[in-house]
Structure 1
Amino acid sequence: MLENKIEDIVDIDKIGEISRVDMNSLMELAKAEKKLPAQEDTKKVLLLAIDIQNDFMEKGSLPVEGSHRDVENLIRFIYSNAGKITSIVASLDTHTAYQIFHPCWWVDACGKNPKPFTLISSGDIENGIWIPVRHREHSIRYVKYLEENSKKSLIIWPYHCMLGTTGHCLEAQFSKIAYYHSMVRDSNFEIIVKGTSPTSEMYGIFRPEYDEGFEFETTLLDKFAGYDKVIIAGEAKSHCALESLSQICEYYKDSRQITERIYLLEDCTSCIGGFEEDTEAALSQMEVLYGIKRVKSTEIEI
């Protein structure tokens, strides 16, 4: 438990608001805390925070219902367990306009772009319902690959998490507690950028949905073996959190002693509406196959 009160560090009532973080004042406050050096931890605990960004908050460009509550729960979890969480790593979904899942990549016969949340199938492309304006052959292969490999269908997302915009930034109150933890624990707060490829969606942190010749990004993955617990939270449960978890399990599929150390904080993550049933089925399967655990942030023992 930290010595400063939680309200001295964050403003829970402003979760999801675009607010400036006075990092200098925050760091001065952290310097006054009793130091709890992470290198002295006998148990190593990693918190992996997926895409806790303004555009996924409830007033963002791609809002996830329940995200404000998720962030509040996660902030309280970090505050209560600051002396036990060794490291925090956060991912940043990062996009530009011309990407295969954005409206401007596609047109219909009249030259109009698809509306957000339109599903595009290989049949749609073959029948001229939707025409890619860039990388036509790759676009066709991409959609067919998704279908043939039981991946999520190509969905046209609203423009979101655009590089350089406020929507791309970490949610301000979460960033405060994460950097505060970093200072108190003398542990780097690591940020991983994902999703920049124009020709593939990248839900999971470690690999695009499809990109010819791309294998796992293993730098972070290889570190998991050195942690006693890997705790996952963030948005959205149905997409980026789920696929990141799935990729970890796939990478360590022959090492159940590692996958059994993975915990998903169920009250710190929410689904995009309409994907709840598929998400539940996928998580239940991972529980059986890999021994992952689903817990509430108030119940997990660290």
Structure 2
Amino acid sequence: MLTTTPLPIPTHFDSRRVAEVWRVPYEERAIAAAAWANEYGIAPASQDDVNICLLAIDVQNTFCIPSYELFVGGRSGMGAVEDNVRLCEFIYRNLARLTELVVTMDTHTAAQVFHAIAWVNEAGEHPPAMTMITRDDVERGVWRANPALGSRIFGGDAEQLQAYARHYVQQLESEGKFPLTIWPYHSMLGGVGHALVSAFEEACFFHAIARQQQTRFELKGSNPLTENYSVLKPEVMMDHHQRAIAHKNTGLIDTLLDFDAVVIAGQAKSHCVAWTVDDLLREIKARNPKLAQKVYLLEDCASPVVVPGVVDFTNQADAAYERFTTAGMHVVKSTEPMESWLKL
């Protein structure tokens, strides 16, 4: 039965530390979570008769900690930090209602198509971070695939690598997607930036113990040949010979659509969140458009990419959310009681 009374926030949560990186004291939190479940009569998630998923997208240091590689400040300048305070509080208040947490993690290595090392100009120089490479740039030779990477990709054939690079930017353009962006090196596998925000990781761990339900982790973005904003599908799935280089995450799509409700938050609203929801909506339309009504977007737990004086994707993010609501999804606030907006 769906619990309607929000729980208090545990005393260990300190909103002032959400912008910091620290070690979660697992054993201490495990004992506290078990006691919390006992005190408030929180049943194991396996006993839920209404199954609710929280899909938290890329709540990682690289996007959410000021001074890290791709901090999502939004127009307020502190967007991701403010979002994560609300997200952690949402998890704690609704601990007894959230059946499962699905956490995505952007996962990269150095030599990938959206990092500077993958491209060079005639002088052998790599593009600066935040350069956007268009089809016209590649066709005119402004930027070309770095032939030094040919030994790792396409069996050492630099010409094939260049042919793929041309195909890649053409695919992005033909499908109406953002031009290829050269992002700063970020979410590097094994690095501190790749890790979950400490306060959020702690909330997930507390939920796992209190509800006796393992957090589901979904890694994305390690394919060197394509961007992967969405956890459900990479940007390009076929190479220039029409051979598959990647696949849809059908298992996760099926899992999400099997829940009674899916609540979505994370970073960035304009990129990985919007792309994931777009792909989920595409699957919903193909299966049953009414399924859109089970999706809830926490608008106060996601911010768009804004680099002052360089790029501002706020309008694109807002336009995406308007499309989602038109399709039947719900845009809601984490600070409002769940029973006020959850329609089951």
TM superposition score category, shorter chain reference: over 0.9
Find the counterpart in structure 2 of residue 249 from structure 1: 281
Distance 1:141 1:256, change over 3 A: same
Matched, 1:279 2:279: no
Deviations 1:212-248 (A, max 9, x none): 1244211121122321210000000000011110111
- Counterparts of 1:265 and 1:200 in 2: how far apart (Å)? 28
- Residue 106 of structure 1 contacts residue 113 of structure 1 at CA under 8 Å; is this kept in 2? yes
Residue 248 of structure 1 aligns to which amino acid in structure 2? Answer: L
Unaligned runs of 5+ in 2: 74-78, 150-160, 239-243, 307-311
Matched, 1:96 2:109: yes
Superposition RMSD in Å? 1.5
Report the 3-state secondary structure (helix = DSSP H, G, I; strand = E; otherwise coil) of the residue aligned with 2:176: coil
Matched, 1:227 2:259: yes
C-alpha deviation, 1:59, in angstroms: 2.5
Matched, 1:298 2:324: no
Q: Specify the structure having the higher radius of gyration (Cα).
A: 2
Q: Return 220-229 or 49-58, whichever deviates more.
A: 220-229
Deviations 1:182-209 (A, max 9, x none): 1111111111000000010000001100
- Residue 199 of structure 1 contacts residue 211 of structure 1 at CA under 8 Å; is this kept in 2? no
- Residue 16 of structure 1 contacts residue 59 of structure 1 at CA under 8 Å; is this kept in 2? no
Matched, 1:64 2:90: no
Report the 3-state secondary structure (helix = DSSP H, G, I; strand = E; otherwise coil) of the residue aligned with 2:103: strand
Deviations 1:33-63 (A, max 9, x none): 2142111112110000000000001331001
C-alpha deviation, 1:5, in angstroms: 4.6
1:14-29 map, 5 Å:
14-29=17-32
Report the 3-state secondary structure (helix = DSSP H, G, I; strand = E; otherwise coil) of the residue aligned with 2:168: helix
- Counterparts of 2:49 and 2:317 in 1: how far apart (Å)? 34
- Counterparts of 1:3 and 1:123 in 2: how far apart (Å)? 55
- Counterparts of 1:291 and 1:59 in 2: how far apart (Å)? 37
Residue 216 of structure 1 aligns to which amino acid in structure 2? Answer: K
Report the 3-state secondary structure (helix = DSSP H, G, I; strand = E; otherwise coil) of the residue aligned with 1:270: coil
Given the two structures, how large is their TM-score scaled by the length of structure 1? 0.95
- Residue 226 of structure 2 contacts residue 236 of structure 2 at CA under 8 Å; is this kept in 1? yes
Report the 3-state secondary structure (helix = DSSP H, G, I; strand = E; otherwise coil) of the residue aligned with 2:172: helix
The total of aligned residue pairs comes to 300
Report the 3-state secondary structure (helix = DSSP H, G, I; strand = E; otherwise coil) of the residue aligned with 2:201: helix
Moved over 4 A (4+): 1-5
Which of 39, 45, 50 is the matching residue for 2:46?
A: 39
- Counterparts of 1:161 and 1:95 in 2: how far apart (Å)? 6
- Counterparts of 1:169 and 1:261 in 2: how far apart (Å)? 30
- Counterparts of 2:21 and 2:251 in 1: how far apart (Å)? 32
Find the counterpart in structure 1 of residue 186 from structure 2: 160
Distance 1:31 1:2, change over 3 A: farther
Find the counterpart in structure 2 of residue 190 from structure 1: 216
- Counterparts of 2:67 and 2:16 in 1: how far apart (Å)? 14
C-alpha deviation, 1:4, in angstroms: 7.3
Find the counterpart in structure 1 of residue 152 from structure 2: none
Deviations 1:77-110 (A, max 9, x none): 1111111111101000000000000011111111
Given the two structures, how large is their TM-score scaled by the length of structure 2? 0.84
